[in-house]
Structure 1
Amino acid sequence: MRAGAADDLLADLTAPLIRRSCLTHIERRPARAGRRGSFPEWIDPRLVQHLSSRGITAPWIHQEQAAQLAHDGQDVVLATATASGKSLAYLLPVLTAIGAREHDYAAPRATTLYLSPTKALAADQLTNITAMADGAGIRDARVAVYDGDTPSEQRRWVRRHGTVVLTNPDMLHFGILPGHEQWAHFFRALRYVVIDECHSYRGVFGSHVAMVIRRLRRIAAHYRADPTFILASATTANPELSATRLIGRDVEAVTEDGSPRAGLTIGLWEPGMRTRVDGRGDVARWQDGEGAQVDAHRADEADDVDGGAEGAAGISGAAADEADEGAAGKRREDPLRRSATSEAGAILADLVERDVQTLVFARSRRGAELVSSGAQRLLTQKAEHTAAPGLADRASRIAAYRGGYLARERRQLEDSLRSGELKALASTNALELGIDIAGLDAVVVAGWPGTRASLWQQFGRAGRRHDADGGALALFVAREDPLDTYVVHHPETIFGAEVEASVFDPANPYVMTPHLCAAASELAIRDGEEEIFGPTARDLLMTLAARGVLRSRATGWYWTLSESAHQLTDLRGSGGEPVRIVEQASGVLLGTVDAASAHTQVHDGAVYLHQGRSYVVDRLDVEQAAAFVHREDPLHTTHPQSASSLRIRQIDREVDWADGVRLCFGTVDVTDQVTGYQVRDVFTQAVLAQRPLDLPPRTLTTKAVWWVIPQALTDAAEIPGEELPGALHAAEHAAISMLPLLATCDRWDIGGLSTALHEDTEAPTIFVYDGAPGGAGFAERGADDAAAWVRATADMIGECGCEAGCPACVVSPKCGNGNEPLSKPQAVRLLELLRELDGDAGSGS
């Protein structure tokens, strides 16, 4: 776009009366010229010549620095902005090493293992690496993907002949390390390991990947290889610390970004209130956007896939995204804001009408489909009622992009967007990572993506042509959610703050134990070798030997069982065997849901949405891990209810804030049981019935942070005893929603519990805990910066204009108690008390 075009677009977008007050903040980032370095002398001249033919006569300074460190054998993490050319930085040493033997037979063989968090990214890099190797004429660069989709005959070829093998942590764990003998040829020559988008390895998944990397290092050492690790990351806080924790040895960071940057105008957008357009009360249709009417029971307005209770933290991301604008919002009588999904669809229609190539990031697969179809519908309707030429054609050039599509379909969509054939895509975060989608005019982010790092990654998709004279537009559209609402009214949380550090804990015993078993089954763990896994590994090995899982000998530890040790490990932390969803009449497998979410999503009687069609669950067979369903379009939704209890196992640390208030961090046991569900009218969300369920309890041992607040203090603050449970509950909801400001987590990664009298603390207590066995590091991050956490939570709840509580402050879409009891006014008083006491203590956490 031309200079100033972004400002013109914002003016157009906010011209309609319904949008006049939506824009809460504008931030302008000027264009930046690039800073060039020079190609080091050791680079294969064929690469230099090939790059020169493409107009690349010198690398950016960060590319040169990272490539030089890697060539010198120094593990390095390159943490620079989206589209800064990180791929070239690792390809220079990788392809140079591989091509060395073509002109010097004395040079050692060199192979490279490339790890990405997604198959799509690996497929994209396959194209890029192959094109560069072929363009430079490096014949020994035999580049291949090795993942779950790779045919058996091709796998054999890759093991024998591949020199650049692209895979993911799951396949490395399940398919490569267990059969390392078949990879001996590859491992003996292993020179580099590239870990792309390493900031995505966080929480329990990050802890698992850290253990897989340690096992990889051990196998490589067995074949007398000591590869150099090259990590590529989005801009993160302390990238060298996160990368060091991930691979288990010191890593040097390159963070000075020398790439050019196009000008970017960023707008923070809060949708306005819905306005009734007929007189039918709660069953009304709402006016949304510019004249488009949408039913109140539409999927993005009413919650048709259920989240869990706070006690069911760790619910799958898909379910979490589906519930993000849930029916909890119907608790109040105030008008609700237009949904972020509907708003993004209307904005997308306006942008496409103006011939602006746009990418929309939605929170869920369904959200991406709804944004796309909503924009198409608006443009089609306008084409029918106006004489504007080309609108119908532009509507056909909008598409959705998400997981669940065939790889061939995704590649076609990516190519069509690059070529300009497609004018817009509405995507999940599948396009957030390094897939090369360049030159977009605008990006719209519908709903907080989880972290600042993700937000900047998504914003970075706009203006990737590096046109110094041009500009691009990025919009963040807030959901009616506490964190989203807080961000659009506190722009300093984005523009004045560092991005988060990746949070994960490789020492988590629940993570380390199965990996020690896997390592012992791959190669006996010799005495002293266990140090690669961390200082607690030896004690865990001795415990496993005492249980008979491993056999201890003078030379080390050996795997003794006949079954595969690798099946003990669930890298993605889904909580066990996935539950199959089977259509009862036909026996067709519709899909799966992870075990941790099954009790809340596919319990008996649950309404389950699959690919836009509704099903009702006839029976959940817990033992067989199967849910049997039938096709139905009911006029109700289902909302699980649960009972939770929490016992403190161990206090790791404790801080006295003041006046007897204690902040604690430690290990807890959380027991959660889905006890029943509400049947709610799909239009009004009125409760039609309450149904009991008989499901077994589930216990989670994890890490938590908690506040112990003496009742004498709450009495002195004039918080009535009958309202204390509601005050604690509302403060708990608010704290859960705000923790993602500090830690690289989502609301759905954590859980909470509050009580006016806890049996272990004998006082009013608020707990927030990690939703993964052994903990994921999120609660600990909250304990580390509790003062800032309390301040942000108090500010958020105090600034919300509602009286009784709403989805923008204390009403939670995942509450298993139906958001009862809640007392927003007393929660404000309680949080202000904690804030004041922190100031009195003078230290916070």
Structure 2
Amino acid sequence: MTHSLNDRSGAVLLPGTAGQIEGCHNGLVPEPNHLLRALHRGEDPPEIVHARVLPEREAVVSPWPAWAHPSVVEAFQGLGVPEPYRHQVLAADAAHSAQAESLDDAVQCRSAGRAVSPARGHHVIIATGTASGKSLAYQLPTLDAIVRGSTDPGSSLHSREATVLYLAPTKALAADQLSALRALGIPHLRADTYDGDTEFAERSWIRDHSNFVLCNPDMLHAGVLPNHERWARFLRQLRYVIVDEAHGYRGVFGAHVSMILRRLRRICALHGSSPTFIGASATSADPQHSFAKLLGVEAPRVSAYSQDDSPHGSVTVLLWEPLLEDSLPQDDLAASTRGKGEATGLPEPSSPTAPLPSRGFGGAGENGAPRRRSALSEAAGMLTDLVAERIRTIAFIKSRRGAETMAGQAQDYLQDIDPSVAHRVCAYRSGYLPEERRELERQVRSGEMLGVASTPALELGIDVAGLDAVLVAGWPGTRASFFQQIGRAGRAGQESLAVFVASDDPLDTYLAHHPGDIFDTVVESTVFDPGNPYVLAPHLCSAAAERPIRPEELGLFGPGTEAVLETLVRDGYLRRRPTGWFWTHPESAADLVDIRSGGGHRLDIIEAETGGIIGTMESGQVHYQAHPGAIYVHQGKTWHVEELDEEGRAVVVSRAHPNFYTQARDVTEVSVLEIESTRAWGPVTLHRGMVRVRTQVVSFQRKAVMSNELIDEEPLDLEAQELVTRAVWWTIPQELMNSAGVAEPQVPGALHAAEHAAIGLLPLMATCDRWDIGGLSTALHVDTELPTIFVYDGYPGGAGFAERGFGVARSWLEATVEAILSCECDHGCPSCVQSPKCGNKNNPLSKQGAIDLLRGMLREATADPGN
């Protein structure tokens, strides 16, 4: 059941903009507030293409639930919470009632001598905005259970000691939650984090004594479930499992977490417990079904609460499109960018199939196409101006290199403008050592750092109150993430500013000029595929190692389980016995699973001179970012890669100060393995199925920092990487090309440009980033024997993105052609048909050919019932 009251968080244009046409520059901001004036862009910046005010929202409160233990209520009141918000009480009530039913069911099972079933019980998801108080909604019932179990012991299961497991996608979020829990000062609460940073000496104490364990899916998979017998005390008394930031479990990572949660439910039943799962999520399109899919339960067993009754200050949101660099006089250009070029702000690929993009500071992109000022440099300038005015600001960017570069640029700018605050800007990203992360988190919370350039690591529920401004450099991938990020500001109730700085990308360009697709459309459903055999197989091995899989348990893991088990038996991973499937190897089955990258491992980045570890990197990134000769950035310092030792899982680097950055180049081939479904669009056929992608990084380029000019290119001798994944593809006969007006010499460029633009727009339809997907176009493919456009998932077995694209193919291509048409360039640029990760250097490309081709395909798709 989904519970949602009338939404009061509508969006309106800024005062004085009535009658203005969306997308018109003039008059959108007639009276800039002090935050906008701090950007020093004048009273009506031409870069603003749209502005909205998310209005102030008043609180709706409810009395504390009668069942809540007085000491828990007093603890919250002592921290300044006189009454909870209505949505907090509704969700807490539902979780409390669900656990009471589960306990009653457990009593009946024990009385009848039956085992507790993982298929029973009800669960709760609370899906409200940033800073809406989701933490209290799950802390209230969980802390009540802990206090009552500690202070009112009895023979009933209801009064026995209770334990709680909290799961967060990041260590930083778990650490933040631990601080919040300890601040409550509840005497009977024994809360501890259990993750990869936990000292080994502390781990046994936590297993034996903690009643509130804060963990992450990685440690639950590798540390808790394989050792569940040591965790028997904790699991036997487990009442609640909190799944925080549940909307972030998408793609292959989401599929892995879904399998881990199913294994947890199975092990809890083995130990006689039936915990209630409480999900905390950003606003999503269908939280009930998404959370049910994540847990592996039927949707009616999940109650969703999506009405936000918390207060929030008004937020002025600007959609900001940097001007074309060749439209500015050089003096103005230099002033607007503080005289700095973009050095290494290169979004990193999420898979081995995506090379690094070219993001330079220069008047033109590849093939002479006009370029906009980069979103990174634009945001770095804004961050500088806001920090100089002592305005607490967070700037989000997707890549680790981008965060480092933005912080470094802002620090350099401030040295010229106001050296007294230059040290109060930092970068925050994954790959830092634990002590570095903790110290940065403390400085950001305390306000010591006025500005932070961050990857989405700080998008999550870390309590950073008092921020006045948020900059979003490049579309973060989903509407849910966008609103989560801009919700970082205004948490203390003050008015705040949020700026989306569009990058040179078809999706960014489209959204900047179609604000309704940001503000007036429901956020996306979370896309993941728990049935992916590349995900399911290793988790079945892990489950069998934890306890042999019985035939009656197959439904827990999904409809394809039996077929995957047969394959595992055939390949010698499992043995079949009359009672079930057994893991019989001495090795750890959990080691077969890499839940973060869908395959591969982590490499240490080692300083050559000292032998010290300065960071880590996923194996899928090393061919692109850590090949010999690459330039690597860590906390603003640049390093030269001396050696890549994949077997030894090490990258050896030495300190360097180059005036260039590096960019890897690759070649890609796609082979069709299996066609799973097709749809006919007249002579065009839309396919979905399995493909093999073979990719090899063959060289890297050195490019000048200031001009983005190519210095030289050096070959590389690296092994090719193969990926078996899912794809969607169109086969387009020559007669369609002819009728659409695409002349034969234009065909390769039209296909190539259409492929690039389609990849850029798929994230509008699915919860993915363009770095999660890849593509290929060819005028004659060896398997299809026709001109073909492929778009594929960048993960083994697929992540659900291509499948989603197949389902909404017509809407996807309509948005794609509109994005190309809305770009003001003449022949194609990074804002429409050029790709930052093209292995062919964006050649050939035909913008007009892509428009004609896509229009011809869409004319044939009008009768398609699948859209």
TM-score relative to the length of structure 2: 0.88
CA contact (8 A) 1:729 1:822 kept: yes
Q: Secondary structure at the match of 2:378?
A: helix
Contact 2:480–2:523 at 8 Å: present in 1 too?
A: yes
Cα distance, 1:802 vs. partner? 1.5
Which secondary structure does the structure 1 equivalent of 2:497 belong to? strand
1:411-450 equivalences under 5 Å are: 411-450=438-477
- In structure 2, do the counterparts of structure 1 residues 420 and 670 end up closer, same or farther at CA, with 3 Å as the change threshold? closer
Partner SS, residue 333 of structure 2: strand
Instruction: Give the structure 2 partner of residue 716 of structure 1.
Output: 739
- Structure 1, 504-513 or 248-257: larger mean CA deviation: 248-257
Deviations 1:271-299 (Å, cap 9, x if unpaired)?
A: 22336999xxxxx99834458212x4633
Instruction: Name the structure 1 match of 2:396.
Output: 361
Trace 1:267-666 onto structure 2 (pairs within 5 A). Answer: 267-274=318-325, 287-290=333-336, 292-294=338-340, 296=341, 298-300=343-345, 312-313=352-353, 330-333=365-368, 335-383=370-418, 392-466=419-493, 470-573=494-597, 575-581=599-605, 591-617=615-641, 620-621=644-645, 623-627=647-651, 632-633=656-657, 637-658=661-682, 660-666=683-689
**Is the 2:691–2:725 contact (alpha carbons within 8 Å) kept by the matching residues of 1?**
yes
Q: Is 1:116 paired with 2:138?
A: no
Q: How does 1:37-116 map to 2 (within 5 A)?
A: 37-73=62-98, 74-106=122-154, 107-116=159-168
Residue of structure 1 in register with 2:263 after alignment:
215
Change (3 A) 1:567 1:413: closer
Q: Structure 1, residues 166-190: CA drift from partner, whole Å, max 9, x if none?
A: 0000001111111111111111101
Q: Secondary structure of 1:454's match?
A: helix
Structure 1 CA distance for aligned equivalents of residues 608 and 423 of structure 2:
37
Deviates more, 1:742-751 or 1:416-425: 416-425
Q: Residue 20 of structure 1: which of 45, 53, 57 is its match?
A: 45
Cα offset for 1:365?
3.4
Tell me the distance in 2 between the aligned counterparts of 1:394 and 1:622: 41
The residue aligned with 2:117 is none
Q: For residues 582 and 39 of structure 1, do their structure 2 counterparts lie closer, same or farther at Cα, with a shift above 3 Å needed?
A: closer
1:63 partner letter: Q
1:697 paired residue number = 720
Does the 8 Å CA contact 1:327/1:813 hold for their aligned counterparts? no
The residue number in structure 2 matching 1:386 is: none
Cα displacement (A) at 1:450: 1.5
Q: Of 800, 816, 839, which residue of structure 2 is paired with 1:777? A: 800
- Structure 2 runs not aligned, ≥5 long: 1-13, 16-28, 99-121
Shift of 1:32: 1.6
SS in 1 for 2:344: coil
Query: Would the aligned equivalents of 1:81 and 1:257 in 2 still touch at CA under 8 Å?
Result: yes
Match of 1:735 among 758, 774, 779: 758
- Aligned to 1:257, the other structure's residue is in SS state coil
Counterpart of 1:241, as a letter, is H
Instruction: State how far apart, in whole Å, the 1-side matches of 2:361 and 2:858 are.
Output: 30
2:169 match: secondary structure? coil
The alignment status of 1:188 with 2:236, answered yes or no, reads yes
Q: What is residue 34 of structure 1 aligned with on the other side?
A: 59
Change (3 A) 1:130 1:185: same
Given that residues 362 and 706 in structure 2 are in contact (C-alpha distance below 8 angstroms), is that contact kept between their aligned partners in structure 1? no
Moved more, 520-529 or 504-513: 520-529
Distance of 2:352 and 2:43 partners within structure 1 = 38
* Structure 1 residue 789, shift from structure 2 partner: 0.8
Contact in 1 for aligned 2:50/2:319 (Cα 8 Å): yes
The CA distance in 1 between the partners of 2:637 and 2:421, in whole Å, is 28
Measure the CA separation in 2 of the matches of 1:205 and 1:559. Answer: 24
Name the amino acid aligned to 2:45.
R
Deviation, 1:685, is: 4.5
Greater shift, 330-339 or 25-34, is seen at 330-339
The DSSP-based 3-state class of the residue aligned with 2:756 is helix
1:791 match: 814
Select between 115-124 and 15-24 the one with higher mean Cα deviation.
15-24
Encode CA deviations 1:535-572: one digit per residue, 9 max, x unaligned. Answer: 21122212222322211111111111121111111101
1:669 aligned counterpart, secondary structure: strand
Residue 861 (structure 2) pairs with residue 830 (structure 1)? no
Matches within 5 A, 1:6-17: 7-9=32-34, 12=37, 16=41
Alignment of 1:256 with 2:256, yes or no, is no
- Selected match of 2:225 from 177, 181, 187: 177
Helix, strand or coil at the partner of 2:575: strand
Q: 1:710 to 1:66 in 2, by over 3 A?
A: same
CA displacement at 1:268 relative to structure 2: 0.7
CA distance in 1, matches of 2:571, 2:368: 58
Cα gap change, 1:264 to 1:631, in 2 (>3 Å): closer
d(CA) in 2 for partners of 1:19, 1:345: 20
Tell me what 1:389 maps to: none
Read off the aligned partner of 2:310 and give its amino acid letter. Answer: S
> 1:286–1:293: 8 Å Cα contact kept in structure 2?
no
> Aligned partners of 1:334, 1:532: CA distance in 2, in Å?
53
Which amino acid is 1:31 matched to?
Answer: E
Whether the 8 Å contact between 1:13 and 1:19 is mirrored in structure 2 is no
Q: Which amino acid aligns with 2:183?
A: A
C-alpha spacing 1:588/1:43, structure 2 compared with 1 (3 Å):
closer
State the shift of 1:192 in Å.
0.5
Deviates more, 1:742-751 or 1:672-681: 672-681
CA 1:728–1:370 in 2, change beyond 3 Å: closer, same or farther? Answer: same
Q: Distance in 1 between matches of 2:181 and 2:609?
A: 48
Question: Which amino acid counterpart does residue 322 of structure 2 have in structure 1?
Answer: P
Q: Which amino acid aligns with 1:643?
A: V
**Segments of 4+ in structure 1 off by > 6 A?**
3-6, 275-278, 326-329
Using the aligned pairs only, state the percent identity. 47
Q: Tell me, which stretches of 5 or more residues in structure 1 are unaligned?
A: 279-283, 384-391
- What amino acid is the match of 1:361? F
Q: How many residues align?
A: 810
Are the structure 2 counterparts of residues 47 and 818 from structure 1 closer, same or farther at C-alpha, using a change threshold of 3 Å?
Answer: same
**Counterparts in 2 of 1:128 and 1:267: CA distance versus 1, 3 Å:** same
Pick from 229, 250, 254: which aligns with 1:202?
A: 250
8 Å CA contact retained: 2:361, 2:707: no
Report deviation, 1:8.
1.5
2:694 to 662, 671, 695: 671
Q: CA deviation at 1:331?
A: 0.9
Q: Which amino acid aligns with 1:333?
A: G
CA contact (8 A) 2:363 2:370 kept: no
Q: Flag the 1:33–1:235 CA change in 2: closer, same or farther, 3 A.
A: same
Aligned position for 2:189: 141
